[in-house]
Amino acid sequence: MQEAKYAEQKQIKTVIQDLTEQNTALITSVWGDLLNGISASRNITIEDLNAAADLLSLDDPKRAVELKFVDGIKYPDEITALLKEKTGKSEADDLEMLAIDKYKSSAYFNEQTIAKDKIAVIYAAGEIKGGKGDDTYIGEKNIRAALIKAREDDRVKAVVMRVNSPGGSALVSDIIWREVVLTKNEKPVVISMGNVAASGGYYISCAANYIFADPTTITGSIGVFGVIPNVSGFMTKKLGVTFDEAVTNENANFITINKAMTPYQRDVVQNSVERVYDSFIGKGADGRNMSKEDVDRIGQGRVWSGTQALEIGLIDELGGLNAAIVKAAELAETDNYKLQSLPVQKDPIQQLLEDLTGQSSSVFMKHYMGEDYKFYQMIKDLENRDVIQARMPYEMNIK
């Protein structure tokens, strides 16, 4: 008994050590990209950047100027005066500021609106789970509808899908993957990865014609796991609640949270996990023109930065959304187009009314909980997750 417990503790320690090493390699890659970018733009050596980070030198604004991290220290009125000077205005003139919504209706964008061809930009953000989906999570209904709409519209010459997701339901990921494949058969599909496009987020991306990521994007995490909570101990020991059951068949109580699984039931879940993982790496291999063995070797749940992903073949190029749009136009052989955002968002007035009438409870929760809202959301997500998950098994926040 003691030997088994020791072996289990040793295994847990090994897993934690491997995870620590993997995450250290990831943040080292991200940090390296940040250093190179800052060094090039501010003309500061890598050594000086690391020294400033080690010594916390930037807590003093004057020191930040001396080290060339910033160009000066100014109050808002001094910034306004500087802008007037740069634009040739006198002190008495008003400084006209252009908001982003007005910029979007400026001449640059108006020139594009007269184009006949369109490039559809589909935004897939949040955890992947069943349901319609909205601006907080990816549902199979809204993303499927968006892909079908873009695919069937003859004016849409290419599709860019902006993916920002840690993954989620393996089933929903597979459904969306299928729609990406069907769309790719009709017109070019380009993926633009945001901060994170991992596990299920990579699953729905891997079939595209071309994949972009930022250097600091967290991607990969090609892995699958199953989760079935067991709350029987808590309910009985803490709340005094016990459970009785009557069943018709030996495994009629399969997947319940009020008792532990039997060894046979655990094997069934394990087999499902392995079957979905095999499908995942197979589709990744097809999409990236790699062997399943190669995908498995860089898979197994490991996460990679965008820079690392480029080196191992998970993506095609480093770049943001604009680069992805340009590539999509190139693949579609069009240089005169306008953009169409999908899924279609709610009318702002309708959204405002829903918020004011309490139909959007998340607005109020976010307001009252502030930064702690993310923990509340994680608990809510746990309640609604499928058993088989293609998602990162932990939350990562790189600062």
Better pLDDT: 280 or 397: 280
Q: What is the pLDDT of residues 363-384, one digit of tens each?
A: 556 666 666 666 666 656 655 5
Q: Comparing 84-98, 277-291, 312-326, which segment has the lowest mean pLDDT?
A: 84-98
Better pLDDT: 141 or 114: 141
Tokens (6 digits) for 389: 């998950």
Over range 24-47, report the average pLDDT.
89
| Average pLDDT along the chain | 83
> Rounded to an integer, what distance in angstroms lies between the CA atom of residue 198 and that of residue 205?
9
**DSSP letter assigned to residue 249:** S
Beta bridge mates, 122: 161, 342
Contacts 24+ apart (CB under 8 A), 206-209: 206/177, 206/283, 206/284, 206/287, 206/288, 207/177, 207/180, 207/181, 207/283, 207/286, 207/287, 208/161, 208/180, 208/184, 208/287, 209/184, 209/331
- pTM greater than the 0.95 cutoff: no
- How far CA 8 is from CA of 104, 118, 219, 233, in Å, comes to 58, 57, 30, 21
The set of residues, in sequence order, having a beta carbon less than 8 Å from that of 235 and lying 6+ positions away, is 241, 242, 243, 258
Q: How confident is the model at residue 96 (pLDDT cuts 50, 70, 90)?
A: confident
- What pLDDT shows up at residue 91? 82
Q: Helices (H) and strands (E) in the chain — how many of each?
A: 18, 13
- What pLDDT shows up at residue 265? 81
Nearest to 180 by CA among 155, 160, 157: 160
Q: How confident is the model at residue 17 (pLDDT cuts 50, 70, 90)?
A: confident
Better pLDDT: 237 or 75: 75
Is the per-residue pLDDT at 110 higher than 60? no
Q: What is the pLDDT of residues 164-206, one digit of tens each?
A: 999 999 999 999 999 999 999 999 999 999 999 999 999 999 9
- What pLDDT shows up at residue 274? 92
DSSP H or E stretch at residue 388: strand 388-391
Amino acid in the structure at residue 173: S
Better pLDDT: 234 or 375: 234
- What pLDDT shows up at residue 99? 73
Tokens (6 digits) for 100: 């982003």
- What pLDDT shows up at residue 156? 96
Q: How confident is the model at residue 140 (pLDDT cuts 50, 70, 90)?
A: confident
* Percentage above 90 pLDDT, the chain: 47
> Rounded to an integer, what distance in angstroms lies between the CA atom of residue 364 and that of residue 367?
5
